[in-house]
Amino acid sequence: MFVIVLGAASVSGMSERDIRNPTMTEASCRVAIGAAARRMRCRSIEADRKCDVDLRQHLFDDVLAWWLTRGPDDQYGGVFTCWDNRGVRLLSTDKYTWSQGRWLWLLAAAADAVRRGSAPDGSAVTVERCLTEARSTARFLRSGVVQPDHSTAYVTDRAGTAFEPSPGSGLSTSVFADCFVALGFARLAQVECDEELGALAELILLSAGARIGDGTARTEPYPVHPAFASFALPMIQLGTATEVYRATSSDASAQVAAGAVRALVDRFRGGDNGADLYEQPPLRDGVADSLLARHRAPGHALECLWFLVHAIDVVPAAARALQDAALGPEWICESARRSLTLGWDDEHGGLLRYVDVDGGPPRGRLLDDPYERLVTETWDTKLWWPHAEALYTTALLSAKYMDSELSRWYERLLRYTFSVFPAGPGQEWIQIRDRTGAPLDRTVALPVKDPFHIARALLLLIDLEPPEHCGASRPPHEPGR
């Protein structure tokens, strides 16, 4: 557990204006982590009252406990994720590969965390339970999901029989699903010291990379207009390749990570000091005024920034790629601050899903594209994953690079997130909410309740360790061997 200390300008002494527009008023911040710092104090944004947030207890006693009780399919393997927004009704037993790969990663990571002593005393989440479910999920994925060309089927029925998500679409319709399976295999390979599984993860990663490279990668549920590039593609490659490298230490995965870094910094940034991260930059002239070109996804950008930090800590080739671009911690932190400022909802609090490059609702010329409708219809939703990812990004960057402004953002996000999303003791989060924070029963991507972002962010948060001295720190996650 860790606590961020801001000195004299503490949260309790901040004005309403300070909370809405945090600035760097302190010269430095201190991150203290240890057994004595188990709880984080925060002040609710809805009332002048204090609330206690024990991230470790919330992870193991609420989030993981909920999923391990309701999620696993003990008959066929894998996890049930087609729950309603409140986690009360299971709407379908279909299994989306995207979620199955993420579940595998989570189980392996949770097993590793418990093994290293991260669980509270008396936790029902055990190494044996997590690894039993992880192995079952890996068998499920290997038996019917992974295809001969090392792509993956997008969706299966409960028993693991793949089917086309729409007539004539084919089975393999999402390179993101491929990468999440590789991610899960790689994490389990680390925990189990399984070289064969690590090699399979690498084959899936390379297959996905080949299709991304030649322009044939399919991207459901986020189709990409042919006139635009997609930030999500090098981003998913970066995160997956870093995990595969942890499992294999292979040159092939290192080169994928380095190539993803080069793509991100060469093609997906602009504005002052290159801190504006483009979600879909145009590939041709004549569309720069479009909504697709102008829209930004702050949560996506923030998630990618911690991917980048992990990559340069773990993969030497990725670190060299960033150095070759003459970029470093200052650019990373400035990019995070820009995304946070751009995405924050000054009226209701929280991060908006999509915004315009100049702030506010996304705007621009429409091209009659399906993704435009997703942006325009859901831009002002408050979703679980941008808030979970932003919590970890701000905590990591403020600790690693001693950035006090980002530590203020962390506290601000903590207050909002834990006053809005958690469903109560023993429960997970109500993941999809409207602009005011009220539950919103609608599908915003896959028709699932996501087991991944919340638990991953909490695992990473409790795994943070303090720098040994100002400006230096250990990598946030050491590979399991």
Q: Extract the tokens encoding 472.
A: 């230096």
Query: Helical H runs in 224-276?
Result: 232-248, 251-267
Q: Helices (H), strands (E): how many in the chain?
A: 17, 12
Amino acid 480: pLDDT? 32
- Exposed / middle / buried, residue 11 (Cβ in 10 Å: 0-12, 13-18, 19+): middle
Tokens of 35: 């057994």
Tens-level pLDDT at each residue, the chain (481 residues): 343 333 223 333 333 333 333 333 333 333 333 332 333 334 333 333 344 689 999 999 999 999 999 999 999 999 999 999 999 999 999 999 999 999 999 999 999 999 999 999 999 999 999 999 999 999 999 999 999 999 999 999 999 999 999 999 999 999 999 999 999 999 999 999 999 999 999 999 999 999 999 999 999 988 899 999 999 999 999 999 999 999 999 999 999 999 999 999 999 999 989 999 999 999 999 999 999 999 999 999 999 999 999 999 999 999 999 999 999 999 999 999 999 999 999 999 999 999 999 999 999 999 999 999 999 999 999 999 999 999 999 999 999 999 999 999 999 999 999 999 999 999 999 999 999 999 998 888 778 899 999 999 999 999 985 333 223 333 333 333 2
- Domains recognised in the chain with CATH numbers: 27-463 (1.50.10.10)
Rg, C-alpha atoms of the chain: 21
Structure token pair of residue 110: 């949770």
Q: Are 67 and 79 in contact (CB under 8 A)?
A: yes
Separation between Cα atoms, residue 250 and residue 67, nearest integer Å: 33
Locate 341 and state its tokens.
């400022």
Spatial contact of 372 and 292, defined as CB atoms under 8 Å apart: yes
pLDDT score at 52: 67
Per-residue confidence (pLDDT) for residue 7, from 0 to 100: 29
Confidence (pLDDT) at 472: 30
Contact present, 104 and 78 (Cβ < 8 Å): no
Q: Which residues of 131-143 are buried (b: 16+ CB within 10 A; e: fewer)?
A: bebbbbbbebbee
- How far apart (Å, rounded) are the C-alpha atoms in residues 449 and 471? 38
User: Locate tokens 């490059």: which residue?
Assistant: 357
Give the span between the Cα atoms of 306 and 426, in whole angstroms: 29
DSSP code per residue over 162-173 = B--SSTTS-S--
Residues 135 and 143: beta-carbon distance below 8 Å = no
Q: Which residue has the tokens 């504005």?
A: 271
The reported pTM is 0.88
If you ran DSSP here, which 8-state letter would residue 274 be given? G
